[in-house]
Amino acid sequence: MGMREFPSYTKHLNYWNSYFINQEKNQFVASINKNVIGLIGARVSIENASAYIWLCVHSDYLGIGVGSRLLDFAKQFLVSNHVHKIYTSVSIYNQPSLQFFEVKNFCIINHLPIEFSEHNAANRRYLLKNI
């Protein structure tokens, strides 16, 4: 997914609070007053020392470092679990997200590796960062 905004109908974030917290082992949230304002998840491939991540930040909190802090936290977690490559994908129409990942030193690649190939789709840019 790369980074995206939460849908506008989640203004009170109750849906996100109930859905994402503890949804999977490698998912972390940023919250204010127990309301989720951002999340990052990772699907890890131990045998290939790699992970596919997705990052979402609520539109009210874009541009203030929420995505950066979530990404930094996830990188620390992944490195501690012997992951050396992080993959993600971004819609070709989402320039702010693409720029975010490029600033974070992700490189554009042609496609995702086989272990994450179900995330290959039309109208996506694929990115890789060696950590």
Q: Give CA–CA dist 29/35, Å, rounded.
A: 9
Q: Compute the mean pLDDT over every residue in the chain, rounded to the nearest whole number.
A: 82
Domain that includes residue 81, residue range: 2-130
Nearest to 65 by CA among 94, 104, 33: 104
Which pLDDT band, with edges at 50, 70 and 90, does 95 fall under?
Answer: very high
Cβ pair 86, 53 in contact under 8 A: yes
The conformation of residue 131, written as its DSSP 8-state character, comes to -
Q: Rounded to whole angstroms, how far apart are CA atoms 109 and 121?
A: 13
120 half-sphere exposure, CB direction, 13 A CA radius: 10
Please state whether beta strands 27-32 and 35-45 pair in parallel, antiparallel, or not at all (unpaired): antiparallel
Provide the CATH number for the domain around residue 122. 3.40.630.30
What is residue 89's predicted lDDT score, i.e. its pLDDT?
93
> Which amino acid, one-letter code, is at 100?
F
User: Count of domains in the chain?
Assistant: 1
- 15: pLDDT strictly greater than 70: no
The arithmetic mean of pLDDT across residues 10-36, rounded, is 61
For residue 73, count other CB atoms closer than 10 A to its CB: 13
pLDDT at 88: 95
What pLDDT is stored for residue 11 in this prediction?
40
> What's the average model confidence in pLDDT over 102-118?
91
* Spatial separation of the C-alpha atoms in residues 102 and 113, rounded to whole Å: 19
* Confidence at residue 46, expressed as pLDDT on a 0 to 100 scale: 83
Out of 42-46, 67-71, 104-108, pick the least confident. 42-46
- Is residue 67 very low, low, confident or very high in pLDDT (cuts 50, 70, 90)? very high
Q: What pLDDT score does 25 carry?
A: 65
Please give the single-letter amino acid code of residue 118: E
What is the chain's Cα-based Rg?
14
pLDDT of the residue at 117: 82
Q: Please check the confidence at residue 127 and state whether its pLDDT lies above 50.
A: yes
The answer to whether 28 touches 20, Cβ cutoff 8 Å, is no
